[in-house]
Amino acid sequence: MMVEIVKNVKTNEWNDFINNINSSTIYHTPEWRLFLVKTFNYDQKYLFAKDDTGKITGMLPLFYIKSRITGNRLCSSPFSHICGAIGNQESNEELINEAIKLHNALGTNYLEVRDNLTNPAFKSQNLFSTYILDLSTDPLDVWGKLDKGSVRWAVKKSQKNGVKVIKTNNPEDILKFYELNRVTKKELGVPCHPLAFINNLFIYMNKYLSLYISIYDNDVIGGGIMEYFKDAVLYGYGAANPNYLKQYPYNAFIWKSIEDACNSGYKHYDFGRTSYDNRGLSDFKSRWNTYEQKLFYSYFPDKKYSVSDNRSSLKYNLTTDIIKKSPMILYSYFSEGIFKHFG
């Protein structure tokens, strides 16, 4: 079979292809490309493979990210936890070869494919895992397998304390989530998602998203953005007011979103990417009866470790300490300018 690599396809062809291939993710959708271009003005370099009949047989999302901080790179795809070439083997090989040619032509520092490639020209790194919960049509089946002493106890505690959870796409609630996320990320000492990032998610990805918020004493104390694609739910983004953690807002909205996912027929609940350095978060996710799936990213020709890759380094700890102590207005301005470099 002859494979042709093209850069543009019709949206209906694109959607037909990803809807009929098991390995596609939400990050392969046309909406995700539009969202990133509109939010960060990234230069998209998507590649598609077609057979001699003109049918799409593979695709590789690519963005050209120019950065003096993280280096000029081709990435598939920023702000995704897994996103590689999809399609048949021959098409994938041609797509990767074309991506290498594009890397050489653009003179980028490296090419990053967020998948585990067997191509010997690439070097793989495993710095993250995700944690996946298998769902059931009966939420009680899932409930009974959750850790009794931590997860179930915390959900019951939140309910007993009067925490309510609702699903919403209301702009006012989205803004409240942004503000909670800003506080949460500052507490961690890392840049927060810009307001445009959160707003544009609901503008361009709206049909794939739901926002769950935990409400206590008429105040939003926590929230999580869930992403839906095919038979899976991804817990994409979460935040909570640090003054109300004893009301267990995270447990409250996570359980409600799991319950709804079961009732809607979804089969898997992905808790999202976690760094191995973040043992507390890994432990939290494992208590939801999840199984660990290691994430491998492949680089050509190689990638030098950045500050954010090595969280135990002195430079990383100094950076987080400065962020934690900075005024909120300065922190917000800093995040708006720097966030797009770290996708």
Least trusted range by pLDDT, from 60-69, 219-228, 312-321: 312-321
Amino acid identity at 331: Y
Average pLDDT over residues 139-155: 98
SS3 for 8? coil
Cβ(56)–Cβ(49) below 8 Å? yes
pLDDT of residue 309: 52
pLDDT of residue 307: 43
Domain pair 4-115 / 129-294+317-342, same fold: yes
Structural domain boundaries in the chain: 4-115, 129-294+317-342
DSSP string, 84-113: --EE-HHHHHHHHHHHHHHHHHHT-SEEEE
What is the predicted pLDDT for the residue at 316? Answer: 52
pLDDT of residue 68: 86
Alpha-carbon distances of 259 from 59, 139, 208, 266, rounded to whole Å: 34, 5, 18, 10
- Give pLDDT, residue 156: 98
Report pTM: 0.93
pLDDT of residue 319: 73
**Token digits of residue 66:** 């120019």
Q: How confident is the model at residue 2 (pLDDT cuts 50, 70, 90)?
A: confident
Task: Kindly tell me if the per-residue pLDDT of 312 is higher than 60.
Answer: no
> Can you tell me the distance from the alpha carbon of 340 to that of 65, in angstroms, rounded to the nearest whole number?
9
- Per DSSP, the three-state class of 325 is helix
Percent of the chain with pLDDT over 70: 95
Average pLDDT, the chain: 94
Give the pLDDT confidence score for residue 342 in this predicted structure: 84
Q: For the segment 239-298, what is each residue's pLDDT rounded down to a tens digit?
A: 999 999 999 999 999 999 999 999 999 999 999 999 998 999 999 999 999 999 999 999
Helix then strand then coil, % of the chain, to nearest 5:
45, 25, 30
State how far the Cα of 333 lies from the Cα of 343, in Å rounded to an integer: 18
Question: How do residues 48-100 score in pLDDT, each as one tens digit?
Answer: 999 999 999 999 999 999 998 888 999 999 999 999 999 999 999 999 999 99
For 4-115, the fitting CATH number among 3.30.420.60, 3.40.630.30, 3.30.530.20, 3.40.50.720 is 3.40.630.30
Whether 308 shows a pLDDT value over 80: the answer reads: no
pLDDT of 331 above 70:
yes
Please count the helices (runs of H) and the strands (runs of E) in the chain.
11, 15
Tokens of 330: 């300065």
For residue 318, the model assigns a pLDDT of: 60
Q: What fold does the segment set 129-294+317-342 form as a domain?
A: Aminopeptidase (3.40.630)
pLDDT of 304 reads 59
